[in-house]
Amino acid sequence: MLRTNRYAHFLYLTIDVLLISLAFAVPYFLNPSLVPHELVIQKAYITVFIFWGICLIFILNSLHLYSTIRYLSIIEESFMVVKGVVFASVIADLFVYLLGMNFFSRTVFIEAVLALSIFIILWRILKRICVRKLISSGFANYNVLLIGIGKETELMLQEIKDNPFLGLRVKGILDDKRTGDFCEVKILGKVDDLEHIVKKYFIDEIYVTEYSSSMSINDFLAKCGKTGKAVRLIIDNFGLPFQKLNLNYLGSIPLITCFQGEQVKADSIIKRIFDIFVAGSILCLFLPVFIVIGLFIKIESSGPVFYISKRNGRKGIVFNFYKFRSMVHNADRLKEQIRHRSEVDGPIFKIRKDPRLTRVGAFLRKYSLDELPQLINVLKGDMSLVGPRPFPVEESEKIEYKHIPRLNIKPGITGLAQVKGRSSLKFSQWMRWDSWYVNNWSLGLDIKILLWTIPAVLKSKGAY
């Protein structure tokens, strides 16, 4: 969702120009001895900085970072800023090389790159937080109309509810088969009533979640076009066995192209190298934490520090899964006695207030500290940092055939389902996020999920 306001555009541009100028001055504040005395060299430095700044602004503008993209997360915007700074810096470096400016300091260049990244990212984080608060309070909200009631409708309504910063107010639903309410949203009429409803409720955007009208899709889209409102069609890519969907054209005919296949070998190697580097670094950093947690576990209750269970990994291979013990020593034997109290639909067993938890264990579960030993699984090659969560063998045997493709890649310590709600998700939603990840894997997505995991863990939402 992209909205451009010329005043906001001018404000963002002005602040960026000021921050870029300040970033170029930082190396000289840090290293006064680097200030050149020769007037010719000073002018050359200024010329490079002006060229560099103009390139950066053009690149940021091409990335639509002077417009308000509400769907963009803070992490995604930060990545785009870094991408823009890197591209502009490469161009500036090439400019310096081609003009033979051998006097240009590498220290100045590197410090300027870092300053640009830090200043622009911090400003945009602050900007996005302020904009989100304004939108959540009702500023510049959009009235939304949903067309049809299908399997994605409830999920979409929940996403809108969970993300008030998008500023979407659902005024109602049009459906040819049902009347009354759906998920506390009023069904306003049938698809034929579209134009009347759009005018009556001042609708800004139309979302088609399920189309089942007797009207042809072409006639329906033509009808939507008469309203002059944006129409968004939801394509259910969660359950499709395709890595991605692209919109292409055959002449003037729009085509949705589906790509299918597994990770290429190079991608798998890159993922493995990334896993080893990050997991090894975290293990070294958190070794004192391991010792402290182990002591607290032993002090509170008898039994081993680590809990080891059998889990299904890639291609169904069974491996030993490590966690810090968060329950009493005989927890597995007590499981059958309380299985009927499970609060998660599907084959997975979870209880919000599990009576088997120790006090230390409850704390570890709340902040996912019990998962830290899985870094050992990552180094062994049983798991990855990011991927679908592995189920116990007895629970894996109960999952439906359509969910088996989640085992095409290594399981992970964290994943999309974990950052989207953890145990508060329905089992079907959990499986859809896993399927989407398997079909759309990339190293960039892994990095984003790892960064998203930090606030998800700190908020401890859905952790039990």
Residue 384, judged by CB atoms within 10 A of its CB (0-12, 13-18, 19+), counts as buried
Does pLDDT of 34 surpass 70? yes
The pLDDT tens digits of the residues spanning 46-86 come to 899 999 999 999 999 988 888 777 778 888 889 899 999 99
Q: What value does the mean pLDDT of the chain take?
A: 83
Q: Looking at residues 394-414, what average pLDDT do you find?
A: 80
Does pLDDT of 118 surpass 50? yes
Q: Looking at residues 290-297, what average pLDDT do you find?
A: 92
Q: CB under 8 Å to 83, separation ≥6 — which residues?
A: 63
pLDDT of residue 225: 80
- Range of lowest pLDDT (5-14, 83-92, 355-364): 5-14
Q: Looking at residues 217-231, what average pLDDT do you find?
A: 80
Strands 181-182 and 185-189: antiparallel
- pTM comes to 0.61
149 residue type, one letter? I
Count other Cβ atoms within 10 Å, centred on residue 55. Answer: 18
Does 343 or 174 have the greater pLDDT score?
Answer: 174
Q: CB under 8 Å to 253, separation ≥6 — which residues?
A: none
pLDDT of residue 417: 84
Residues of the chain with CATH 3.40.50.720: 142-234
The pLDDT tens digits of the residues spanning 273-293 come to 899 999 999 999 889 999 999
Paired tokens of 74: 């803070």
Residue among 105, 112, 97 nearest 35 (CA): 105
pLDDT of residue 239: 47
pLDDT of residue 345: 63
Residue 417, judged by CB atoms within 10 A of its CB (0-12, 13-18, 19+), counts as buried
pLDDT of residue 342: 65
- Range of lowest pLDDT (162-171, 327-336, 449-458): 327-336
Does pLDDT of 238 surpass 60? no
Q: Which residues pair with 187 in a beta bridge?
A: 173
pLDDT of residue 248: 63
- With cut-offs at 50, 70 and 90, classify the pLDDT of residue 303: confident
Strands 384-386 and 142-147: unpaired
- With cut-offs at 50, 70 and 90, classify the pLDDT of residue 460: low
- Range of lowest pLDDT (147-151, 183-187, 214-218, 395-399): 214-218
Signed CA dihedral, 358, 364, 370, 371: sign only: positive
- With cut-offs at 50, 70 and 90, classify the pLDDT of residue 33: confident
* Fold annotation for 142-234: Rossmann fold (3.40.50)
Whether 76 contacts 63, CB under 8 Å: no
